[in-house]
Amino acid sequence: MPTRIKDNDTFGGMIFRAPDRADGGRDLAEAYRCFRKLLADKEDTVQVFKIGRALSGRYFETDLRKRLALGGDTDAVHRHESLIPYLDNHPALAELPDGTLGRAYLHFMQSEGLTAAGLEAEERRANVPQHDDLIQWHYDRLRDLHDLIHVFTGYSRGALGELCNLAWTYGNNRGGFGDAFIAVLGVVEMKRWFPRQPLFRALYEAWANGRKARYFYLDNIPALFAMPLAEAKEHLGVRPAPFYEQARTAIVSMTEDDNNASPYATVANG
């Protein structure tokens, strides 16, 4: 029988819900204003976090409460450590064997000039309220693993790849309405440039693949990184994305660009 998780329950010394945490709501008007700013400046990643804040409601709280109530492996929850020191320790990741998920992640982050700390810094610029509780830790963990999804799904950092990443994430989390909001409106904008490409099919495909995949956010990430890439993808239940590949190939052939430098690039790099 599920265990009832109370606000003042503690896990490894951290309270589940801080007393000063306000009840979340949804502000579609604010989310849309932020989306229009994002269209005007695709590098304004701050707007992504503002959209998430406007639309998240109490999703992160409800999701974590449900997962803890059902039990299972909660080792990561009890340790509630930040993933950023591990993800950004590139010398240590370079010690992993060739062909592992960790080495693939390292290659992706270095080739794209990304760090997990950089994504956190962008969120801080959005002035999203921070709380010293387990809900905040859960949210931060989902944020920090965004780029890992690019690695095992194969979604690029071009506009369509970012939108499909968000759709996959929405399907995998079974919530987080901000991801779906950006993904759908972003594809609507892309359709203006590429009306004949299966963009909505690619988006639905990403959502369905994420929904069928393993929920991995509470997994032991170092153990996952040590797996051969093919084994890790099988473990996670990663599925092919033929509609995405079809659309991406066509877009790249028309624009000679897969890095958000052309008119279809209407959303920020993740």
Residue 9 lies in a domain: no
Residue 226 lies in a domain: yes
Residue 5 lies in a domain: no
The model carries a pTM of: 0.90
Residue 17 lies in a domain: no
Residue 246 lies in a domain: yes
What is the domain range of residue 225?
25-255
> What is the domain count for the chain?
1
Residue 99 lies in a domain: yes
Q: Can you tell me the distance from the alpha carbon of 68 to that of 83, in angstroms, rounded to the nearest whole number?
A: 20
pLDDT tens digit at each of 270 positions of the chain? 567 889 998 988 999 999 988 877 789 999 999 999 988 887 788 999 999 888 988 888 888 888 888 776 578 888 889 999 999 999 999 999 999 999 999 999 999 999 999 999 999 988 888 899 999 999 999 999 999 999 999 999 988 999 999 999 999 988 788 999 999 999 999 999 999 999 999 999 999 999 999 999 989 999 999 999 999 999 999 999 999 999 999 998 888 665 543 333 333 233
With 0-12 / 13-18 / 19 or more C-beta atoms within 10 angstroms meaning exposed / middle / buried, residue 44 is middle
Residue 68 lies in a domain: yes
Per-residue model confidence (pLDDT) at position 72: 61
Residue 71 lies in a domain: yes
Q: Can you tell me the distance from the alpha carbon of 205 to that of 239, in angstroms, rounded to the nearest whole number?
A: 9
Helix or strand run (H / E) with residue 15: strand 14-15
Which residues, in sequence order, are CB contacts of 231 under 8 Å at separation 6+? none
Per-residue model confidence (pLDDT) at position 66: 86
**Helix segments in the chain, DSSP class H:** 28-40, 46-55, 59-69, 75-79, 84-87, 90-93, 101-112, 116-125, 134-144, 146-153, 159-173, 177-193, 199-212, 221-225, 229-236, 242-255
